A and B are shown apart, each in its own frame.
Chain A
């Protein structure tokens, strides 16, 4: 197999980063990205892109930590380079505050982010309704810039990208040797995964350039994440809701909750409302599968179900998926040489 043809379905942060990893680990592969949506219309574009991991109940912690560490290391290097502003990657410091002491004092990622420590009494004065807090510095991936930067890197490797709605992975079997499923929420229909469910998130993106820190309530519902040009205010976690329409009552509620954490937001301008469906699962599905109809087989690598933690683990899962693609190709090359015998 001279030039294995790999199709990546999905052009959000997972699809694009997985495609890029495949070009890196398998330079002889011809990679094509197929998606019904590209930036700025993906779920990733709605997300703030903060590197603060979400904990998946059914994925072993050491694996989640490894994914986060790889992602953080990768982005840290970009943030420190001349490409940082184009890629939309920047450091941001801030606070995670709790109304009551959190279950775990030290989250699994506390030694990966920078300068993690409990907040001092003086710092907590800024948050009169909260009793406990953690201060640290982490990274933020602004979208669309990060996705556009990934697209640019992909184009440079010769990767083609097409707008195409794939209704069934099998429809790709005659054109491609391996299919990588990074369809996010789309996997619900695409592969009929009933374990995948939406967690609706509504956010506001506002102009408030004096806000230089992130503030996050430990309950995960209220957060303020300053990006390059806009500050993301959130949010909601509505399990099972498929609605992509902004809700005005929710907008007012998010704004009020964020203003109570950061009163100066009252002066924020240009409020834009966005909605995304977090493609949620008890564990991220990074897995090989072989589809078959009769004697025809189609190797598939799944990489979806990152829910609220897509950005935090994207590079780590992309590396793992690319590795699985490599295994699929070896298996194909093995069986094709066997066929020649």
Chain B
């Protein structure tokens, strides 16, 4: 049973690990391969700050809220393990700021210690009259992806540095199941007009005195269009750009100025911070995550694709819940092919 995962960002690697952990013992013939044109540190996941926080509203998408919760609980369970530092996992607290009262988010009971801000705390943020404080998690891609890669390598998973041009290409090589975790490039494999880039740009600075995340919200503009500051283990990320439909991965001077000015207004001490980098990336945005099976007829064969893409700006936040859902779909495929109950049969 050959399974090919397309994509080596947080979604591809975690789905691969989840499937291998659950099924390698049950399916002795299971061979897992990861194909990608970009590996860490050049994936979209590497550029993300790594803060676990869903969008403000789940738009009634309870499934995604559940996947977010599963991810948070899974990560929280790993917090005290010796692997935590290697994974880039740690607790972080901080502020969400608004210019008007807003309803509590779907994730208020998932995070720790969620509460409204007191008037004295709001004095820190002139211009904002309402806000939340909570403790959440950081999972830094630059550490988590190598950690996932190591776990997969230990398990005998093979990696191939190539751009897959079509699902057909893999099936004709004898792959039985494809996991499509191609993120922003999913449209190259199968057109999907609902998948659009949500371009972001960030400035990396040295500001080690900042111990909290600070995320501002402008309800009229939309998510991530208002300044945010997220302190990591090595540097602090300044951001506040979300441009729907913009495919450019070049840093823009105009966006740089917008991020810098707005973040320095939010935290005046940042004016003294040293800039150590800048990055632009494309959030693979979709009205909802595409996580579903697709059976493709190829001659007299039935090939299976599990799609797992379109996680927008919350990939790290939702990744493990989605990986487990993808693993469940894989389990269904195995059932149907009677691979689970019976010994390895002749290959299709």
Query: Is the pair B112, A84 in contact by a Cβ cutoff of 8 Å?
Result: no
Answer yes or no: A120 CB below 8 A from chain B CBs: yes
Task: Check A92 for interface membership: any CB of B closer than 8 A.
Answer: yes
A residues less than 8 Å from B209 (CB atoms): 84-85, 88, 90, 142, 228
Q: CA separation between A84 and B138, bound complex, in Å?
A: 25
**Residues of chain A contacted by B212 (CB below 8 angstroms):** 91, 93, 212
Q: For residue A122, which residues in chain B have a CB less than 8 angstroms away from its CB?
A: 112-113
**Residue of B79, B85, B231 contacting most chain A CB atoms (<10 Å):** B85
Cβ–Cβ contact A120 & B112, under 8 A: yes
Considering only residues 104-135 of chain B, those with a C-beta below 8 Å from chain A are: 112-113, 115, 117-118, 120-121, 123-124, 133, 135
Are the C-beta atoms of B113 and A114 separated by less than 8 Å?
no
Interface string of A47-81 (1 = CB under 8 A from B): 00000000000000000000000000000000111
Choose, from A13-21, A100-108, A162-170, A262-270, the stretch at the interface: A262-270
- Give residues of chain A (260-311) contacting chain B, Cβ–Cβ below 8 Å: 263-264, 266-267
CB of B278 to closest CB in A, whole Å: 21
Q: Which residues of A contact B92 (CB under 8 A)?
A: 212
Tell me the interface secondary structure of chain B in the complex.
mixed
User: Which residues of A sit under 8 angstroms from B211, Cβ to Cβ?
Assistant: 90-93, 212-213, 226
**Does B291 make an interface contact (CB < 8 A)?**
no
Interface of A is mostly: mixed
Spot the interface stretch: B39-47, B59-67, B154-162, B264-272. B264-272
Inter-chain contacts of A210 with B (CB < 8 A)? 85, 88, 90, 138, 233
- Tell me which of A85, A114, A123 contacts B120 (CB under 8 A): A114
Decide: A266 and B82 in contact? CB cutoff 8 A: yes
Q: Which residues of A contact B271 (CB under 8 A)?
A: 82
Judge whether A190 is part of the interface by a CB distance below 8 angstroms: no
Instruction: Assign chain A's interface to a size class.
Output: 35 or more
A228 surroundings in chain B (CB, below 8 A)? 208-209
Which A residues are in CB contact (< 8 Å) with B210? 90
Q: Say which residue of A135, A211, A267 sits within 8 Å of B113 (CB atoms).
A: A135
Task: List residues of chain A with CB within 8 A of the CB of B117.
Answer: 115
Asked whether, in the complex, the Cβ of A213 is within 8 Å of the Cβ of B93, the reply is: yes
User: Is A252 an interface position by the 8 A CB rule?
Assistant: no
Q: Is the CB of B112 within 8 A of A82?
A: no
B275 close to A (CB within 8 Å) = no
CB-defined contacts of A99 to chain B, threshold 8 Å: none
Q: In chain A, residues 115-141, which have Cβ atoms closer than 8 Å to a Cβ of chain B?
A: 115, 117, 119-120, 122-123, 126, 135, 137
Interface flag for A229 (CB, 8 Å): yes
Tell me the complex Cα distance, A64–B133, Å.
29
Instruction: Confirm or deny: A86 has a beta carbon within 8 angstroms of a beta carbon on chain B.
Output: yes
Q: How far is the CA of A266 from the CA of B83 in the complex (A)?
A: 11
Residues of B within 8 A of A267 (CB): 85
Determine how close the nearest CB of chain B comes to the CB of A147; give it in whole angstroms: 16
Q: Which residues of B contact A88 (CB under 8 A)?
A: 209
| CB-based nearest B residue for A93 | B93
A209/B233 in contact, CB under 8 A = yes
Across-interface contacts of B79 in A (CB, < 8 A): 126, 264
Known A-B contacts A93-B93, A114-B121, A263-B80; the reply to A212 vs B231 at CB < 8 A is yes
User: Can you list 24 A-B pairs, Cβ within 8 angstroms, ordered by A?
Assistant: A80-B123, A80-B268, A81-B268, A82-B268, A82-B269, A84-B268, A85-B207, A85-B272, A90-B209, A90-B211, A91-B212, A93-B212, A114-B118, A114-B121, A115-B121, A115-B133, A123-B113, A126-B80, A137-B121, A212-B90, A213-B91, A213-B211, A263-B80, A264-B79
Q: A213-B211, A267-B85 are in contact. List 4 more A-B contacts (CB 8 A).
A: A115-B118, A117-B115, A120-B112, A264-B80
Report which B residues bind A (CB closer than 8 A). Answer: 79-82, 84-85, 88, 90-93, 112-113, 115, 117-118, 120-121, 123-124, 133, 135, 138, 207-212, 231, 233-234, 268-269, 271-273
Give the interface of A toward B (CB within 8 A). 79-86, 88, 90-93, 114-115, 117, 119-120, 122-123, 126, 135, 137, 142, 209-213, 226, 228-229, 263-264, 266-267
